[in-house]
Structure 1
Amino acid sequence: GLGAVLSQDAGEGHRPVSFISRKLSDADTRDHANELEYLAVVWALKKFRFYIYGRHFIVKTDSSSVKWMMGKKELKGKFSRWVLDLQKFDF
């Protein structure tokens, strides 16, 4: 499944604002782990958009594939759509 936490710096460390999770669809279970990690970021930002849109924020992930994909010049298919979706946010 996918999961994410939205947290806020409360001066004494980060405090959770919201937790989300979802089960993978049958189609998602056939995807490579790198794709699922990227999907998790895209899905979480879309779910939290009402909290984060128009604000600068930090995305924390241990996935080097997500960082690699964000720096790639040419992507095709769903990856190019995902990058376009993420460009709406300031992180």
Structure 2
Amino acid sequence: MDKLNLCPNVCMVLIDCKDFQATVSNGKLKLLCSDDSRPWAWSTKVGGLEGLSCNYLVSVANPGGERRVTVWWKTYTKECKTEIWCAQISFEIRMMGKLV
């Protein structure tokens, strides 16, 4: 069972008056509800990021304290250079495909 904890690559997210914990683990973004400890996990197929090469996330942060988080990942070029990318993700709760 996943539990809320304080460690690197973890931040709190407030979605519709509920507290969630967002974390990057093994390159994937996970969201854990603090109410019932049921995890919802997103792999690299996060809506809106399909065209980007974010197959291994390295960090997550929530600078605003609300429903948005920023994630970072690295890619490597043919010239042996490292590129650091980031994206902002906004979460919303849906049930049966409808916005709650």
TM over 0.5, shorter chain: no
**Higher strand share goes to which structure?**
2
* TM-score when normalising by structure 2: 0.25
**Higher helix share goes to which structure?**
1
* TM-score when normalising by structure 1: 0.26
**Higher relative contact order by CA 8 Å / sep ≥ 6: 1 or 2?**
1
